[in-house]
Amino acid sequence: MSPSDRTCCGVVEEARLRAHDRRTHKPQPWIVRKVAVGLTLALIAYTSYVYVGIFCRDMIIKNQSALGSPTVGIVFLVIFCILLLMVLWSYYAVVTTPPGYAADFVEKFELERPVRGQQSTTFSDTRGMSYELLSPPVDVSNHTSALSNSGNTVPVTLPVVPATATQDKVYHSTPHHQGTSTPDEAHITNVPADTESMRVPGPAPPSSHGSSHHSSSSSDAPPQLFSRQPSTTPVLVAQYRHCGKDKIIKPPRTHHCRACGTCVLKYDHHCPWVGHCVGAFNHKFFVNFVQWASILSFWMFATILGFNIKSQTRSPAPAINPQHIVAVALTALFGLFCCLMFLTQVQLIMLNQTTVESLAFRSMQEREQDNLARMHRWYDFGAKQRTRQRWDKEWGRIGKEGNLWWLGSSRANWECVMGKNVWWWFLPVGRGLEDGLSFPTNPRFDNQGRWRRRREWPSDLQ
């Protein structure tokens, strides 16, 4: 699968561009961000005109070109109006609800590299939560800091790499960013490699982009067998989540949107069709919108196409209205797009992954695929399968046990975004269980957000 096939709305392209030209990029002007909202409304208006003003009206007034009886026309019109109401309602909800801008919730914070003996620093957000960024202890090899949140202190490590760290002439063929981390976040680079890292003998590493921290480790360590090697980025460490543009410590799962020019809470993706990001506060409404938009599109597509085909069996066959053809084509495209988006969203929500987080899992799976191809002959599918099962047994599954935000059940993950009330799953009202600022973490990870082997999990989960 090529990267461009992965998702809609150019998320992949955005991620790629993010790594390359983040220094020069400016936020899109307001009008550019909102232009697709006008296009979407124009599309809805035009197809509604064709459906009501031509297709249903012809039937209701018994026009010569009618494709059905007046009763059918009235029934279709009523169903259409209900579906259109749901689409417009959910579209209004997603367009008028901001995704949640981190700068509104977290106070500005200029990151300075802590030095030994530095006093602890406190900062707070507008909800009155206070965070404390403690100074590192004396031991240089394991500097620790803490992000305390309403009394719940999460001890975190500030990795500091000795200046003499050497770069290995090997590369790690697994991703170094996962969960809340994206390439632009690794402001503190050169995380020491996990001592159990897999080494892949072969060419020198490709030049890393920007601050990507291809691991450094002692070069005399013996090469080890192929294994799964999850990200070593401590994504729960506050310093790793500093946004240099907004000058804030981002809450977990927050990402900086290039198009909007600001950090968005639980960033899913930037959607031009709604004119801003899909994030913590409007994710649910976005799902409601694509759900109703795909139902409405397929209803219009099926009825207009079906009745036109049926009319062609009559003799003499009536001429096909060209506007029907245009409406069928538009509703097919729009419906397919929305349906794919809806199915993708349902799948990701049940895994408790955002779109941007899912990309990290995909690339991890692709790299693992590459490793399997090196380990086994291309036709040896059984051996590849067994190796993958062995890794899953050792670590748990990528994207599930290996997802920092996975809650263990699809239902629990779903309710985080869509709420507990079943009606809320279909109507653009209510909200999920999350506040966009703090999230329960998977106990299979350590307190810095690194995926651990099964043997290191809490005993009740093993």
Binding site residues, Zn ion, CB under 5 A: 243, 245-246, 256-257, 259-260, 263, 270, 277
Burial class (CB in 10 A: 0-12, 13-18, 19+), 393: exposed
CB nearer Zn ion, residue 276 or residue 384: 276
CB nearer Zn ion, residue 71 or residue 126: 126
| 162 C-beta neighbours (distance < 10 Å), count | 11
SS (H, E, C) 266-329: CCCEEECCCCEEECCCCHHHHHHHHHHHHHHHHHHHHHHHHHHHHHCCCCCCCCCCHHHHHHHH
**Beta carbon of residue 409, minimum distance to Zn ion (angstroms, whole number):** 31
CB nearer Zn ion, residue 257 or residue 287: 257
Q: Which of 223, 221, 214, 224 is nearest to 175 (CA)?
A: 214
Position 125: which residue type? D
Position 291: which residue type? Q
**Beta carbon of residue 265, minimum distance to Zn ion (angstroms, whole number):** 11
What are the DSSP calls for 365-401, one per residue? HHHHHHHHHHHS-TT-HHHHHHHHHHHHHHH--TTTT
**Beta carbon of residue 276, minimum distance to Zn ion (angstroms, whole number):** 5
**Beta carbon of residue 16, minimum distance to Zn ion (angstroms, whole number):** 16
The DSSP letter of residue 168 is P
CB nearer Zn ion, residue 272 or residue 399: 272
CB nearer Zn ion, residue 123 or residue 457: 123
When computed from its CA atoms, the radius of gyration of the chain, rounded to whole angstroms, is 26
**Beta carbon of residue 354, minimum distance to Zn ion (angstroms, whole number):** 13
CB nearer Zn ion, residue 213 or residue 270: 270
Q: Using CA atoms, how far apart are residues 188 and 172, in angstroms rounded to an integer? A: 19
**Beta carbon of residue 277, minimum distance to Zn ion (angstroms, whole number):** 3
207-214: list long-range contacts, CB under 8 Å, 24+ apart. 209/19, 209/20, 209/183, 210/19, 210/22, 210/183, 210/184, 211/183, 211/184, 211/186, 211/187, 212/19, 212/176, 212/177, 212/183, 212/186, 213/176, 213/186, 213/189, 214/167, 214/171, 214/172, 214/176
CB nearer Zn ion, residue 20 or residue 420: 20
Burial class (CB in 10 A: 0-12, 13-18, 19+), 425: middle
**Beta carbon of residue 295, minimum distance to Zn ion (angstroms, whole number):** 27
**Beta carbon of residue 246, minimum distance to Zn ion (angstroms, whole number):** 4
CB nearer Zn ion, residue 235 or residue 259: 259
At 249 the three-state DSSP class reads strand
**Beta carbon of residue 85, minimum distance to Zn ion (angstroms, whole number):** 28
CB nearer Zn ion, residue 178 or residue 262: 262
**Beta carbon of residue 35, minimum distance to Zn ion (angstroms, whole number):** 14
CB nearer Zn ion, residue 277 or residue 338: 277
SS (H, E, C) 85-128: HHHHHHHHHHHHCCCCEHHHCECCCCCCCCCCCCCCEEEEECCC
**Beta carbon of residue 297, minimum distance to Zn ion (angstroms, whole number):** 25
Q: Can you list the alpha helix ranges (DSSP code H) found in 97-215?
A: none
Q: Using CA atoms, how far apart are residues 365 and 256, in angstroms rounded to an integer? A: 25
CB nearer Zn ion, residue 256 or residue 266: 256
Q: Using CA atoms, how far apart are residues 429 and 209, in angstroms rounded to an integer? A: 42
